[in-house]
Chains A and B, each alone.
Chain A
């Protein structure tokens, strides 16, 4: 005797959050049943393994049928096939678009292409996340990317509206899209210590300050690309390191301000030219797409690592960067104040975020 067909359809679609999570995590039906049995549902509800299997299969089928709609969350709200209460809909969407930080770290900044997708089995092995789940997360990234790529207006808002995601999740997706679009390198060994949230924070800074949309909301451009004009202007900052006088003047101003305020003053003074060169060089090169990709690795190599070897605390770094930024404005011959503020504001907050003690 065998069950050929087993179907349960409710007028209000019944969805078990626990099973949904198992499904999202890529468990097979049988594995999910095992997990549920271990979870103790059976004793709680006087059920048998058979009942559990039937329920799990049924739920899985429901989720599969819903998946199509979840790809376009706006449709979920006005489709007729499933009667799902709004709070449930929100839950479904939010969980479907949720991702593992460890997974996203692996693909962050990579091109969301078929090639990358093929490598997902390696990612799966490395992170311990099931391949199915990896694929779903990857496809989510790609889908969001494709939709918002062409859209005008603020990135986060676009994502939130099109995918009905809660604000924090929409911001994370904005970061992922932004990284994927600019192909920032995040996978290098030196960057391994950084979490996804670190990068997401940086992405937020870049989106809010360095893109076209950041300056002018009315601009008919997108939020995903860096402001080319601004990048061009950054070249002008080179004067800070190429002009010997200016460099010395800058150094003395910073040192005067810092003196006595930190116990790593000597290291700071010694390293000033080095650090300043590093930061300004990064700025000057950003016009090249290739150097944009290396933005984070450059920050780490040119600034964070030297600071760290000098055992600066993040308070020290903050202090240093504050005065370094402000002092530049006092320089007589330095004219590019706006660009400098726009550049250093982001650099400072990124470095502070990336500077783990």
Chain B
């Protein structure tokens, strides 16, 4: 009984009229947790009742605390008939269970009814007294922090990254229970909402347990999804990355303190978790083979394994560098290309060497530690003499370490197994490394006959084989849901790996059907135990596939990993994708808390804060310190695979940055652009859209049809992406997200990514069109006009995105090589200077042009489609990554939005017709967004996240969530004038903006990004068009300014400019002027992990909410649009209210995971389910930060109050 939950019901307001006669309401409240219910008194005849109840106390298990929501029901008392429900509030108390998150939930929360929507608000107070449970066999995982953010959260630093955690829970869907036929829609919806709340809680708890097992204390990149499988049930699954995070102290005085305390905390955590590790692990593990035998019960078509195994592995394994995939007959290569152990070997070495410190505090360990920190410096030095050329080209890591450290470590490990259990984190580390070695083992065995075994790998092999036996039993995936990494973590990127599988959903043979226990979650070990395992097995298959793809790319890890499903009737497509990568072992090690170690880690720690773009000098100094450690801005582009055994056709060249390592000609990834990456110009959103018709079918036939369509769909999406990338003269895609949605009669595919020009990669050649029949003159002409059009577009795009790749200076290559590191420096500075005199490079002839063959009408259509993508209007940029490469100086004006459209198609459309419609749909949606947000210009739509669905036949649903962020043009000359103008536009567009300090920001960016300052200048100098655009924008602004009436807005902005008041105060001043009564705090929402111009000082916990809304008076509520509009607004309102109640003033990493909309216009009915998530945070404006720091040394609550203001 380790927890006491206390709740107090204070008051209500804006309640609906429940008694027609008096136009009033007699409201009371039921507070329920688990099976305990309390009631308040009836507050008669009021729409604004003041209950001011006592504290209701629930004494509960922490397990229940994690699983259950606090359920508050507001009712209207009725003497004669049953009490009418007004609505409910579900409160997730999870944030209160973590000492570092929120401490109290207090505030006005909307009372929600699934039929009527929000009906007034209720003011509640919720607290939790948690007794520490040190029971090693506990089932709860209180205290594990969850973050939706897919990077290291802003006020933390990653001490360790443990790896992949996943879990899923299954239940039957209340909507499909027999009882649903007799209960009201309201009851049914509420049952569903509650169930999903419970399931999410349980899921989170179980994931938390796994994290504790691994020795971590947080899950980053937590991604939870629902599969509404209809009659076969409801699956809630989640993946994430287990980490050990450490809070960064913002106060310089105490800066050293946390680093001192944290290792001891780790130590404290580990002993309690370690024993349960072993116990739990075994109970959970579901062997692959048993699962697969179960699989055979139902029909299953697994695309990757069954269909493609021998055919087109590159299709999925290597989406990235597919420049030549258009050529016919690429399938001659064997799947699972054996790989040389050259590249991976040094890594293994690193991994193992990292063991030594954790196991013994010996001289050896410390020496290896220091060497680790030195490692990158020594790269060049060691490289030449000792390793074969092959290695040196593909891996910048020192393979030299191998002989000295690896062997002793290995032997010590195999001889002293008990050492494995020393500490929990150690065990986790072990498992990690074991899985690596397993990979290597597989690779090695795969090589067997033909592979060129590296010199070092030979002696290793025998040792590794011993490990592998046990390693094979571990089911560990080297996957990371992160998309942004602490600098130095990501070494190389191989390319996108993805796998899809088509499954038939089987019915649940569930004895609980109709049982009174239907609400209770099914127990793993009882009757339904096979259910989750089946789903587990499905995902396991996919993950294995992904893993093997990554391996084929010479990578040991998959980053930016995500999973998704699309369900139509009983067919389900499971998809997983990620980016194959090689990671540094730096964050995967554990070290003794000795001073030396900490010292060596110090720059690292600082640097994790450096990942904050908004951070000031701290980041820049860190980057200075790091320059020597990481290969600057191009390292991640270097190929991780063996040049001689490229797993797919790609063209390799020497890196255009450092000239030392090979890079592919195109790079596709699912991650965010690394901060340190060298980019030329700006990026842009690139989207491939595809629609394919499909015959209506049932069951197996349907599944087969879909799985045979999938590869073509995916192939074409990639072709489109590649074409569009070339057309924009770019050479890399980041944040690639391919979604395939299945309907009864069609398949939809949408691939979105942010295209950029990576300086390290070769300049993309143009697109050349080749006809099949050169004899025809008119045809020739047609082709040449088309060619001209394409060339024009490319030139225009280059200008639009400021792509002026530095002309490669040949002499560099020929010049004598002094010292590797220095050389790269030299080159970089050279490229900077050459930047200014660069000219537009249109010499496609020199490089291989990308050839498009027009052999039939299809191809012509394709090319037309290629050219119809309309450019973004002036002043707008768009991307689907966190921020736009090439834009730095964001203002604080942000506007998050969700837009949903549903289109009805005419029957009997051809594929081409469908394609065009679908493409237009997306384009028009984008155009609408640009128009809507025109007042924020110049701005960038960031994190544009498209989700498509086919809710029913002939309907296409597209949902977009993104954030529009304003930025300042880099115009030092007009700075003063512009900032004046800017405050105006901000006053127009934003409520709580703060004046941005231009100079500060510029200084920051120039110092942290070495290439930006000279470049910025040259940009201003050479791009008149950009300035033209900007000046026209200023004109527009002036017009705007004139339209502002009364001048009240102007005075506000000038007041802000003049007064150094903290924002909270100035805002409250403003609000005092107009209304004194406003009690609504402003809550910002953004899908990004940060808020421009502000610093996140506290994470309050995860927000994960699920709502159902139903109506039987659709027309009266304004039709489908009115209905959904209200619902989405209500969801936003509830998210904001819950964040405010936690004491927060923003939600970061917000996303709408699910938006299932169903309508039945004939019955005047509609239903919609929405699932949203994000991280509740407290932020303070950077300008306020200094003052708040001075004011309060310790309290974080103070700035929160200041931030809320109104």
Contacts and interface: CB of A to CB of B under 8 A. Distances in A.
Interface of A: 1-14, 17, 44-48, 50-52, 54-55, 57-58, 61-62, 64-65, 74-75, 77-91, 164
Contacts of A90: 1048, 1074
B1077 A11 contact: no
B477 to A, nearest CB: 35
B18 to A, nearest CB: 18
Interface stretch (B739-747, B1127-1135, B1193-1201): B1127-1135
B934 A45 contact: yes
B265 interface: no
> Which of A47, A75, A88, A164 counts the most chain B CB atoms within 10 A?
A47
Given A11-B896, A45-B930, A61-B1122, 9 more contacts: A2-B904, A5-B900, A5-B902, A9-B1125, A11-B1084, A55-B928, A80-B110, A81-B1130, A83-B1080
A114 to B, nearest CB: 19
Contacts of B1137: 80
B901 A9 contact: no
B955 interface: yes
A4 B1120 contact: yes
Contacts of B934: 45
Interface string B886-899: 00000000011111
Contact of B1128 (A7, A45, A55, A80): A7
A298 to B, nearest CB: 39
B1157 interface: yes
Interface residues of B, number: 71
Interface string B460-492: 000000000000000000000000000000000
8 contacts: A9-B1125, A12-B990, A45-B934, A47-B930, A61-B1122, A77-B1075, A81-B1129, A83-B991
Contacts of A86: 991, 1070-1071, 1074-1075, 1078, 1206
Contact of B895 (A10, A48, A55, A62): A10
B920 to A, nearest CB: 9
A5 B1071 contact: no
B1074 A80 contact: no
Contact of A1 (B900, B906, B957, B1206): B906
B1124 A5 contact: yes
A83 to B, nearest CB: 7
Contacts of B1120: 4-5
A77 B1078 contact: yes
Given A8-B899, A8-B932, A80 B118 contact: yes
Contacts of A52: 931
A329 B796 CA distance: 88
Contact of B1132 (A9, A58, A85, A87): A9
B445 interface: no
Contacts of A1: 903-906, 917
A75 B14 CA distance: 8
B931 A51 contact: yes
A80 B1075 CA distance: 16
Contacts of A80: 108, 110, 118, 121, 1080, 1133-1134, 1136-1137
A12 B1080 contact: no
A9 B110 contact: no
A78 B110 CA distance: 12
Given A78-B1080, A85-B991, A61 B1118 contact: yes
A11 B1128 contact: no
Nearest to B1157: A5
A45 B990 contact: no
A227 B1134 CA distance: 51
A77 B932 CA distance: 24
A77 B1079 CA distance: 8
Contact of B873 (A45, A57, A65, A164): A45
Instruction: List the 3 closest pairs (A to B, CB-CB), nearest first.
Output: A85-B991, A5-B902, A77-B1078
B1085 interface: yes
Nearest to B1122: A61
A47 B931 contact: yes
Contacts of A65: 1122, 1125-1126, 1129
Contacts of B873: 45-46
B99 interface: no
Given A61-B1122, A80-B108, A80-B121, A8 B1129 contact: no
Contacts of A50: 924
A52 B932 CA distance: 9
B1121 interface: yes
B704 to A, nearest CB: 30
A9 B1084 CA distance: 14
Given A1-B904, A2-B904, A83 B896 contact: no
B992 interface: yes
A9 B903 contact: no
Interface string B1-43: 0000000000001100000000000000000000000000000
A8 B961 CA distance: 10
Nearest to B1150: A11
B927 interface: yes
Contact of A74 (B905, B1071, B1077): B1077
A75 B108 CA distance: 14
Interface string B991-1013: 11000000000000000000000
> Which of A1, A14, A52, A82 counts the most chain B CB atoms within 10 A?
A1
Given A1-B906, A79-B1080, A9 B899 contact: yes
B903 A85 contact: no
Interface in B1052-1080: 1052, 1070-1071, 1074-1075, 1077-1080
B1083 interface: yes
B927 A7 contact: no
B1128 A81 contact: no
B1049 interface: yes
A52 B928 CA distance: 8
A87 B1080 contact: no
A52 to B, nearest CB: 7
B1141 to A, nearest CB: 11
B81 interface: no
A77 B902 contact: no
Contacts of A58: 932, 1125
Given A9-B897, A80-B1137, A14 B932 contact: yes
A82 B902 contact: no
A78 B902 contact: no
A28 B218 CA distance: 54
A91 B1206 CA distance: 18
A2 to B, nearest CB: 5
